[in-house]
Structure formats: C-alpha cells, structure tokens
Structure 1
C-alpha cells in the first residue's frame, strides 16, 4: 500500500517539476527511509542490540508518550518507529540568497508549499547544487538536518541521525517535528518553524518539570538568546544597508564591514559577559554570508509571538492550538500584522507567567 501511495505521490510531484533528477532523489531518499523503519519496541526488546541504544530509545518513548498525553501532539506511530540510515544527517538543506538580499530563494512543492531551502539526501549533491548557485553570484549555505516531518503523510521514525545527542535533545526533536504534524501553513516557513520551535522549547520546559528536573540554566538560555539577538540585529542592519542606492563595490565593502562587526560584537560579548565561553566560536569563525543568517530568521522570528499567544490562552495546549489554527487561517499580510501585535504584547509581559516567559527574552 505504501509503495502504491508513494508511486502516486511521485507522479504528482513530477508532473509539476522542472528538475526530474531532483525530485527523483527526493522520492528515492524518502522511500529508503520508509524501508529502513522498524518498531522501537522490538529494538528495545532485542538483547542483541547495543544496550546504550536500547536505553536511549526507552527514554525517547517516555518523551513520545508525554508529547501526546501532555502536549496534545499527534498520537500516531511517528517516533514509535526507528531507522538506521548510516550517515550523520538525513538531509542537507541548501539555502541561497542574492548577493545583496536576505530574502531566501524559495522552492515550491505540491504538498509542503514554498520553503526557503532545497533538501538533498546526499551531501555531495547538496555541495554540487551549492557550487552551481555560487557560480550565479549567490550567497549559499549548507546545513545538515537531523530530522524532518512528512506532515503526517507517513509515520516518521526516530532516525539514527537523531541519536547522537542526549535524551533531552532527542525529546526536543520529537516535540518539534510532531508540532509540524499538529499544524502547518503552506508557503510560510517563518510561521511554521517559529511555531514548532515554541512547542519544542515550552514542551521541553514542561518535560523537565514533569520529571522533577530544574529548569535549564538561566546562563545557558541567556547566552543562546543573546547570540540569536546578535544575529537578528545584524540581519536588520544588512536589510537597511541593502535598501541603500550604493554602487556594487561599495555595497560589498559595507556588507563585509557588517559581518566583521558581528564577529567583533560576539567576541566582546563572549569575553565580557560569558566568561570566555566559546560554544559559538566554530559557527562565528566560518566564512560569513547572507544565507548563513537565514535559519535564524526562519526558526526564531515569531517565537515570542507564540509565547504571548500561549499565555493569552492560559497555558492550555488545546486552546493554544485552536488559536494557532485561527492565526494560520488569516491571509498572509493579516497574519503578519497579528504576529507583530503579539510580539508587542510579549514585550509588555511581566516576568511572572503560566510558563517560563524569561527563556524567550
């Protein structure tokens, strides 16, 4: 049945595509992932499997149950299956922008709608696409992805690429990906990823509390939030710069100066406020361009708005999802206006809330 359904899905995809080879690798990669699935319960019960793997999966199933029973995320076979893919990432996403723009080059699909990247199941294929885009003068970035959601079309497995982190990181991935199954708006990557990121973050807070664990260190949260704010501030300055009527060479020099300012401000913040903690050094010291900044705008832009909405609904997940659905049903511009209103409301929140609002500041 899966084979027949997949064949029909491939036919739909191919009927509207401009690159048969690209969609073929998508279909092939997804099919291989489906074939690799096996029951988590059976792996846990198999004494021949590594003990560490079995214990890791036991904890994952506790988080999976919590996701449905307490976070009201879909109760299906997703993440009650697992799959070994033998590589560190399931796909590699290629992000691209014009040289003087922070708008992503979107790619549209019949089911998922338009998204701000192209995914490849082969790192080599992703690098090949990136090289072609660079030849066209674009800013390009490649990011490995541990997991993705098929939006409920298939029962998504716990992929071996998700198992390199600890138990809590695995739980957060499950919460994030199930959120995409709970609600998804075509053609609005920022909305979808910010929504899933909020569910992931608040779900993780509640998951820790349910097990009697202390909240994640305020210092660690503050560092993460300060780093994200640094990137978002740089994005704003670049957007202002790119709107100026400058000659191309002058624009390139000003662009390079903004990225150098980002590095300098990061170093100052790291040394003066973080006690020299170098957790973000590897990222900040890589070659910089517009495309590398894209995920920050996509995954974090509206998280405070969803935090405000969650508070408005009294921390009730069912009411929150209903409110998210109503928000997602608005026309694109109306939705953005409402999200900005929620952002403003969030700014006025006091420190006390039905959830830990301080983690989003």
Structure 2
C-alpha cells in the first residue's frame, strides 16, 4: 500500500512537471535550463521521500533520528489540530538528501537600490530570489548578477514549500534543528499552503512569520515548556532589535540613494553606512558573520516588514486564528496598495 501511494505521488509529480515544462517550451534557453534543474531537483527529492511510519519502524533508523521524526510528527499533528493549518500529506514523510541544504537562493539588488531583482514563474508569480538545487548553479547565476553591477546574497535554504501542490516531506536538512526551530519551520511552510498571494513575497512571508510566531508560542505553552517559552520570548526580543537596526540602515540608505550625488560619492556614503551596520551587528555572535549589502537588506525586509501589522490583526481578533485567517484572506483579494495596514510597504 505504501509503495502504491508513493507511485501515485510520483506519477502526479510527473504529470504536473510535464505540464510546467510544456508551459515554458517557447521561452529562451536559459529559462529552459533553469526549469530543467528545478523539475529534476523536485523529482529527485520526492523520489527519496518515505512515509514517516516506515522510517520510524525501520531497524536501520538511528535512535536520535527516530526521536526527531516522532517529535516532527507530533508538531505536524498540532499544526492542523490547533493552528487550523492544512491537514494533508505534507510533512508526513521523510527524505534524506545527503546535503546541507535543499536549495541555494540567490537574492540581488541594484547597486543603488533596495528593491530586489525579481524572477517570475508560472505558479509563484514574481519573487525576489531564484533558487537552485545545485550550489554551483547558484554561484554561476550569482556571479553573472555581480558582473552586471548588482549586490548579491547567496544563501543555503533548508526548506521550501510547493504550496500544497505536492506533499512536501520532512528533510534531513532541518530535521535535527532545535525543537523550537523545527516547529517554527513546519508552521511557516504550512502557512504558505493556507494562503499564498501570487507575486507578493512580502505579504506571503510576513504572514507566514506571524503564523509561525503565534504557533510556536501556543505549542510551547500547550506542551508545558515554560522555560523554552521564555527563551523564545528572549530570542524574539533580540530579533526585534536586530530587525530594527536593519530598518534604520535601510532608511538611511534609501535617503542616500534618493540624492543626486555623483555615483562615486554615493558609493562612498553607501560603504560608510554598510560598515557602520556591520560594526553594529558584530556585537551579537548570531549576526557577526553577516556581510550587509542591498541584497541582504532586501531579503530580510521581505520576511519582516508586514509582520507587526499581521500580529496586530491577530490581536484585534482576540487571538482567534480562524477569524484572523478569514480577515487576511479577504484583505489579500484587494490590490496591494489598498489593504489598509497590510498595504505594500516601501522597498
């Protein structure tokens, strides 16, 4: 029966990827090459997925992995039961990828702009990044963007969502994350399946972050992890200060880029601002390794700019997730500039 389900899943995957390939046959060679690696990577990932029950029961599964899978299963059940997130086959299977990340994302922004370069796709719409299953492909693409004069950030990513089109598996790239991070990631990715607005990355990511934060708080409280809950609050406070520092730097850079200064003078002021930001971040070991540039600032803004507005909406609904989801879905149907507190922010 399990093998039959896997066969059906793979057949569905092949049908959908074949349809996707047909949709881009009239595009350029570079686009075809990109889709080929994306389709191949997704097929390879799904082919590795095995039902959780199979992996947990397998005598070859190590004790520590079995514990992580059982925890992930309980988190997954909690997500649908208590957070009203989609109840489907996602995160009910496991795939060992034998690599540190599932994909490598490339984010780019022009030298004097905080607006990220977008890539547009049939399903996701336009997004401020491009993902690759092979690091060397990501590095090649990133180098081309650098040569064109852009600021670039290349980052390994442990998970991504197929937005409910496939049953996303738990992956070896994140299964050994600390408990809170594992829960956060599962809640975040399932939130994308609940609501995704094509071509509006800031709305989508900020919504998912708001859901993950509320979800983690509820899950920790429900499982009696009071000490972990306090640590989570402390970490959130630290993150808030970090994001505020980034936003202040973004505001200063935005002012610099709006001037009529000659390029070299603007470049010098930009260097000074980024050096000051690097110094400010160096006091925290978590952020010390970051190399600030326009791409990094654009990337973090995508995930944070609307989070306070989403959290305020949830508070206005008395913490009722059902009412919150309904209100957000109603707002998402409006034009990005007409969503009230959730209107598109300044890049």
TM-score normalised by L of structure 1: 0.88
How far apart, CA to CA, are the structure 2 residues paired with 1:47 and 1:99? Answer: 54
- Report the CA distance shift for 1:53/1:15 in structure 2 as closer, same or farther (over 3 A): farther
- State the partner residue of 2:235: 220
Unaligned runs of at least 5 residues, structure 1: 271-276, 343-361
Once the two structures are TM-superposed, the CA of residue 341 in structure 1 deviates from its matched residue by 11
Structural RMSD (CA): 1.7
Q: Which residue of 1 aligns with 2:7?
A: none
Report the CA distance shift for 1:305/1:212 in structure 2 as closer, same or farther (over 3 A): same
Aligned residue-pair number: 330
Taking a change above 3 Å as real, the CA distance of residues 176 and 341 of structure 1, as seen in their structure-2 partners, is closer
Residues 293-324 of structure 1: CA distance to partner in whole angstroms, max 9, x if unpaired?
A: 12210001111101011011121111111111
1:11-67 deviations in Å (ceiling 9; x for gaps):
224445662111111111111111111101111111221111011000001000000
The aligned residue for residue 323 of structure 1 is 327
Name the counterpart of 1:307: 311
Unaligned runs of 5+ in 2: 1-10
Distance 2:236 2:245 in 1: 14
State yes or no: 1:166 paired with 2:178: yes
- Counterpart for residue 356 of structure 1: none
Match of 1:96 among 104, 108, 127: 108
Contact 2:336 2:344 in 1 (8 A): no
C-alpha distance in 2 between matches for 1:340 and 1:190? 10
Cα distance in 2 for partners of 1:179, 1:51 equals 30
Q: For 1:29 and 1:266, locate their aligned partners in 2 and report how far apart those are by CA, in whole Å.
A: 35
Cα displacement (A) at 1:156: 0.4
8 Å CA contact retained: 1:93, 1:143: yes
> Structure 1 14/118 Cα, relative in aligned 2: closer, same or farther at 3 Å?
farther
Question: What is the Cα deviation at residue 163 of structure 1?
Answer: 1.9
Change (3 A) 1:15 1:73: farther
**Which residue does 2:257 correspond to in 1?**
242
- Superposition deviation, residue 259 in structure 1: 0.8
Residues 25 and 121 in structure 1, CA contact (< 8 A), matched pair in contact too: yes
Residue deviations 1:188-229 (CA, integer Å, cap 9, x gap): 100000000111111001010001112232433222211111
Moved more, 112-121 or 163-172: 163-172
Secondary structure of the residue aligned to 1:216 is: helix
Aligned counterpart in structure 2 of residue 280 of structure 1, from 284, 287, 293: 287
- Structure 1 stretches of at least 4 aligned residues deviating more than 4 Å after TM superposition: 15-18
2:273 corresponds to which of 258, 262, 266: 258
Task: Find the aligned partners of 1:15 and 1:331 in 2 and give their Cα distance.
Answer: 30
Counterpart CA distance in 2 for 1:280 and 1:105 is: 24
Contact kept in structure 2, 1:90 and 1:161, CA below 8 Å: yes
Matches of 1:72 and 1:316, distance apart in 2: 10
Distance 2:171 2:246 in 1: 30
The answer to whether the aligner puts 1:12 opposite 2:27 as a matched pair is: no
**Normalised TM-score (structure 2):** 0.91
- What SS is found at the alignment partner of 2:173? helix
Deviations along 1:138-191, one digit per CA (max 9) or x if unpaired, are 111101111000011100000111123122211111100000000000111000
